[in-house]
């Protein structure tokens, strides 16, 4: 069974180097009206069979009128991090069920 292709985005770092990330999932928080995106870096050492923990990154995002044009913002509050960690735990549990 083929694994579903995830959306990928390129994010430049502070030095202007571009890095490729896979979008693990996005979600909206109705109470705040904000949207969040959880990303995983795409690298040569990425192995789907590897059970090692992979570093993930989370951002608040806003879509502009342009297609595929998204602005990313750092997560700033502990409350936001708690919501993201809960969603990540749920996502990880569901990923394990699919194997």
pLDDT in tens, 23-78: 999 999 998 899 999 999 997 554 555 556 778 999 999 987 776 688 999 999 99
Q: Please state the domain extents for the chain.
A: 8-98
Query: How confident is the model at residue 98, as a pLDDT?
Result: 57
* Residue pair 91/38 in contact by the 8 Å Cβ criterion: yes
Q: How confident is the model at residue 88 (pLDDT cuts 50, 70, 90)?
A: very high
Whole-model pTM: value is 0.77
pLDDT score of 21: 95
Cα–Cα distance measured from residue 28 to residue 61, given in angstroms and rounded to the nearest whole number: 10
- pLDDT confidence of residue 52: 64
Q: What's the length of the chain?
A: 99
Is residue 6 scored above 70 in pLDDT? yes
94: pLDDT strictly greater than 90: no
Task: Report how far residue 23's alpha carbon sits from residue 57's, in angstroms, rounded to the nearest whole number.
Answer: 10
Whether residue 2 has pLDDT greater than 90: no
């Amino acid at each position: 069974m083929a694994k579903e292709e995830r959306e990928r985005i390129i994010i430049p770092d502070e030095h202007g180097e571009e890095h490729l990330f896979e979008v693990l999932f996005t979600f909206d928080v109705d109470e705040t009206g904000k949207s969040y995106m959880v990303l995983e870096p795409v690298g040569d050492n990425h192995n789907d069979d590897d059970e090692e923990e992979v570093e993930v990154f989370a951002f608040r995002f806003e879509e502009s009128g342009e297609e595929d044009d998204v602005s990313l913002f750092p997560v700033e509050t502990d409350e936001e991090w708690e919501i993201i960690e809960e969603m990540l735990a749920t996502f990880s549990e569901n990923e394990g069920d699919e194997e």
